[in-house]
Amino acid sequence: MIEEFIRYTELADGEILDVFNSTSKNMPDAERLFSHVLNAQHIWVSRMEGTPIQYEIWQEHAKQDFESISKTNFDRIKATLAKQKLETIITYKDSRGNEYKNKVGEMFMQMLNHSTYHRGQIVSMLKREGFVPPVTDYIYFKRKNLL
């Protein structure tokens, strides 16, 4: 099921990317929040891999870099899922330096659920900016046999 939720997250994020790629309009709030989504995905997968974290949680990226960051994130996410057992416990530090221990499966669910939460906010922002909001519901992709 986590594999399917990763694929769903990748597809839904792709719908957001399509909107950003279709316009030269600046939407700083939506762009800042999508940067945050990308950063959080990077941070969680880095924790699971035990590799250095390159992005700050609220670091802003140029809109034209979103797609490449997303691709790198999902390549790493899929590779990590293939290598890690979901029951493996990882010790890591949060952005404030507090130490925690969680199972890999729990970390995946946090990362994916966090993306869904903020994607909903971004869709609302896009709608306020005059865009037809992209459909990012899980069931939408399931009905299209993409999952």
Phi, psi angle pair for 77, to nearest 5° = -60, -50
How many angstroms separate the CA atoms of 70 and 88, rounded?
25
Look up the pTM and report it: 0.96
Q: Where are the domains of the chain?
A: 2-22+29-49+64-143
Alpha-carbon gap, residue 77 to 48, rounded angstroms: 9
In order along its 147 residues, the chain shows pLDDT tens digits of 999 999 999 999 999 999 999 999 999 999 999 999 999 999 999 999 999 999 999 999 999 999 999 999 999 999 999 999 999 999 999 989 999 999 999 999 999 999 999 999 999 999 999 999 899 999 999 999 999
- Please state, in angstroms and as integers, the Cα–Cα distance from residue 140 to each residue in 50, 85, 146, following that order: 34, 29, 9
